[in-house]
Amino acid sequence: MNNLKKYFGKALDPIHIGAGGYRLGGVDNTIVREPATDVPKIPGTSLAGVIRAFAELAKEEDEKKQDSEKKFKDLKIEDVFGTENKKGMLRFFDGLIIFFPVSSIQGTVWVTTKELLEYWLGDLKDSNGEKMKIPEKIDDKAYAVKGIDPKKPLNLGWLLLEIENIADGKEIVLPLKLKEFLKRIVIVSDKLFSHIVNDNLEVRTSVRIDPTTGTAAEGALFTYEAIPRGTILGFEVVIDTRKDENVNIDQLIKETFPYLKLLGLGGLGTRGFGRIEVFDVNESELNNEGGTK
């Protein structure tokens, strides 16, 4: 039996998953992107590697407990994550950007697309349980979902867009973990989403230090980009429980969440990058049954 789990993550720091090497362009060290859309992502291999490492730490901590308190007594990390010669019980998919924060005249706005909303959150409903009517065709403008004043101009970075208010003043129900954080939400087209994301990534400049002098090395200035803090991402993991239905793998994955929040993932961790708060949203919240509590 295969069990698909959806998890959400809020970037507490900028996240840098390097594409490897340098390339010509505005930024030297770029991050991994989806080839078809050019939107940054977190590769499934990166997720699998860091979650496995933190799962081993969680297993070590569990082994220090009394037998009656142990959660993973009969669980073997090699069986769950696999080895070079044996397939594991987990399959990690790429982490995708769902809500991307952009500075605007009205404050920080989280940008998304119709397809992302429908896949990750299902039908958006208001407090009366009525489904929000999202246009079938998304034009090159901003469709206000939450917290946007349609009477005021709205810029997304350098881009000034016409606003269409599809929320009609009604409060949209979101999962509890997202409700208070996402103050302003707009939907844009897939084409605009890619441009908006790539034009508003965090870009920093650093310099290599010469170990002999302890000062900046000549000609060693470089730039690197990252997914900005406040981005909401979605992760999917398939759990294959056919080998052992009694192993609580979902609980093991959740035990790694505090490590991800404290130690993070990706590169440049010593420069304050990588921390992410990961959480799952239950089915009742995805069906908008628990978002108003």
Give yes or no: residues 131 and 272 share one domain.
no
Cα 225 to chain centroid, rounded: 16
Residue 94 and residue 116 in one domain? no
In the chain, what percentage of residues exceed pLDDT 90? 51
Confidence of residue 290 (pLDDT cuts 50, 70, 90): very low
Residues 90 and 174 in one domain: no
Does residue 292 lie within any of the structural domains?
A: no
User: In whole numbers, what is the pLDDT of the chain averaged over residues?
Assistant: 87
Domain limit, last residue, from 182, 199, 216: 199
pLDDT digits (tens, 9 = 90+) for 36-45: 999 999 999 9
Return the structure tokens found at 289: 């049954």
In this structure, what token pair is assigned to residue 36? Answer: 């078809």
* Domains held by the chain: number: 2
Least confident of 91-100, 167-176, 255-264: 167-176
Question: Residue 263 is encoded by which pair of tokens?
Answer: 């130690």
Answer yes or no: do 81 and 53 share one domain.
yes
Indicate if 109 and 159 belong to the same structural domain.
yes
Give 247's pLDDT tier (boundaries 50, 70, 90): low
- The answer to whether 95 and 235 are in contact (CB under 8 A) is yes
Q: Residues 259, 58: contact at Cβ < 8 Å? A: yes
Q: Report the alpha-carbon distance of residue 124 to residue 173 in Å, rounded.
A: 7
Is 252 domain-assigned?
A: yes
* pLDDT score at 292: 44
Among residues 199, 221, 246, which one ends one of the domains?
A: 199
Q: Which pLDDT score, from 0 to 100, does residue 116 have?
A: 95
Dihedral sign computed on CA atoms, order 264, 14, 192, 39: negative
> According to the model, what pLDDT value does residue 24 have?
55
Of 51-65, 115-129, 156-170, 212-226, the least confident: 212-226
- In the chain, what's the furthest Cα-to-Cα distance? 68
Whole-number Cα distances in Å, 40 to 3, 32, 69, 97, 197:
26, 6, 41, 7, 8
* pTM exceeds 0.85: yes
Place of tokens 């599809």: 166
Instruction: Report which of 252, 254, 236 is spatially closest to residue 244, judged by C-alpha positions.
Output: 252
Within its chain, how far is the Cα of 194 from the centroid?
15
Asked whether residue 56 is assigned to any structural domain, the reply reads yes
For residue 232, is it within any domain?
yes
246 lies in the same domain as 185 = no
| 3-state DSSP assignment of residue 285 | helix
CA proximity to 224, closest of 39, 33, 30: 30
Residue 254: CB atoms within 10 A of its CB come to 16
| Structural domain contains residue 293 | no
Instruction: Say whether both 251 and 235 belong to one domain.
Output: yes
Q: Which domain holds residue 32?
A: 1-99+202-287
**pLDDT of res. 293:** 41
**What is the phi-psi region of residue 162: left when phi exceeds 0, alpha when psi lies from -120 to 50, beta otherwise?**
beta
